Amino acid sequence: MSRLRIFDERQPATPLATHTDRAEIGRVLAAAGVRFEQWAANQPVAPGASQDEVIAAYRADIDRLMREEGYQSVDVISLKPDHPDRAALRQKFLSEHTHSEDEVRFFVAGAGQFTLHLGDKVYDVLCEAGDLIGVPDGTRHWFDMSESPCFVAIRLFTNKDGWVANYTGSDIAQGFPRMEPIAA
């Protein structure tokens, strides 16, 4: 189940609010300037599927998004709990960072947790299959896939170089809840 928890940045142990209704999550995030939509993730791909398989399965959606939003490149991150580089990949995303472009992800299988640092609030968004999230450029955030990652996400970029992080040097991400592994 998709979930949004909102925290005061000084109180990482206790959420100020929790939302599980996808429409409500979308409304709350839209008010904060973040895109959150539900799309049909109805093509049969599983964590561990190759980039070519996933792109082929979702080619029509990818082409439409690229046309509508001007994205220049696309890739796929597809991880299973036994991926040999899972710990290193997880660590790469866990520190607070920004991007010089919007970070757009469409989850087609499994789940991942985006945590956004907006002003003095922290928005913790558990995204699952069918969720599309668009984090605006310059937004401080981090991403967790748990110690047992199990997800497939299509990533769209306006920068042809793809994912480029600008780490803030803050340790704020260390104090907030990590993603718990999703039961299979």
pLDDT digits (tens, 9 = 90+) for 44-103: 788 888 899 999 999 988 998 889 888 888 989 888 899 899 899 898 899 999 988 888
Reported as a pLDDT band with limits 50, 70 and 90, residue 181 is: confident
pLDDT digits (tens, 9 = 90+) for 6-43: 999 999 999 999 999 999 999 999 999 999 998 877 77
CA distance 73 to 108: 18
Q: Is the pTM of this model over 0.85?
A: yes
Dump the DSSP string for 151-167.
EEEEEEESSTT----EE
What's the pLDDT score for residue 161? 63
What's the pLDDT score for residue 160? 66
Q: Are 156 and 66 in contact (CB under 8 A)?
A: yes
**Residue with token string 């790469």:** 92
Domain 3-163 has CATH 1.20.120.1200: no
What's the pLDDT score for residue 153? 93
Q: Is the pLDDT of residue 116 over 80?
A: yes
pLDDT digits (tens, 9 = 90+) for 152-170: 999 888 866 666 778 999 9
Q: Are 107 and 1 in contact (CB under 8 A)?
A: no
What's the pLDDT score for residue 132? 94
DSSP code for 110: E
The token pair that represents 158 in the structure block:
């306006």
Nearest to 144 by CA among 105, 114, 116, 109: 114
Q: Where are the domains of the chain?
A: 3-163
What's the pLDDT score for residue 94? 93
CA distance 184 to 181: 9
Type of residue found at 57: A
